[in-house]
Copies of this chain bind each other. A is one copy, B any other.
Amino acid sequence: MSELTVFKRPEALLPVTMHYCPGCTHGISHRLVAEALDELGLRERTVGVAPVGCSVLAYDYFNCDFHEASHGRAPAVATGIKRARPDLIVFTYQGDGDLASIGMAEIVHAANRGEKITVIFVNNAIYGMTGGQMAPTTMPGQVATTCPLGRDTNLAGFPIRMAELLSALVTPAFIARGSLHSPLEVVKTKALIKRAFQYQREGTCFSLVECLSTCPTNWGITPTDSLKWLEENMLPYYPLGIKKTPEGKEA
């Protein structure tokens, strides 16, 4: 009987070692995007937009054209590409500091204009790359280097639920939140990402998938404990699921 490889590195991901810390789930979301591009046959007409954040080097990992954006402006850069070349598939890959802090105006307006792009939003409740500062998504009480006594909601407010916030816009969109903390959720998140790209392929609408992710290094715990921490702390606050579809209801 012949051997059949049923799981392997997707073609859209180059065969290189990524620089992410051990157990960092950035690697999983990279793979999910790559698999989606492969399975939908989009790789050769895709342009990715890399953020400033731990995934800044995404262009070294994906086997497709890439554009490095300035911090937070990936949705604007993607808008530029997509408007210039509507035939291309354009996605941004952004962290929570990038998208929810400095890039708030750009993501809200790209979503509101209904740019036909796909946004992969990796929410790990911290600034990973710069060494663990508070993000807009940092949990109440969570310690970070710029809130050494834990996030004080009186001074810094509550974490922002980006998927819900963007769903409050009127312009049709596909917006969903998945998580990378368990095999089942990874599988579900992949389906969301694939669906997001499908909407783009059809030219239907803006699409965004928020992926709850871990940062073992800056959370200061092991990769395994990070998955648990995500589940126990982030999941209750960031409910998973589809928040908005262009059809107006979950179809």
Contact = CB atoms under 8 A, between A and B. Distances in A.
Which of the four size classes fits the interface of chain A? 20 to 34
Contacts of A160: 108, 112, 169-170
A10 interface: no
23 contacts: A103-B105, A104-B104, A104-B105, A104-B109, A108-B160, A108-B165, A112-B157, A112-B158, A112-B160, A113-B155, A113-B156, A113-B157, A114-B154, A153-B171, A157-B169, A158-B170, A158-B171, A160-B169, A160-B170, A164-B168, A165-B165, A165-B169, A168-B168
**Main DSSP-derived SS at the A contact region:** helix
Contacts of A159: 170
Q: Could you say which of A103, A157, A160 has the most chain B C-beta atoms within 10 Å of its C-beta?
A: A157
Interface string A194-227: 0000000000000000000000000000000000
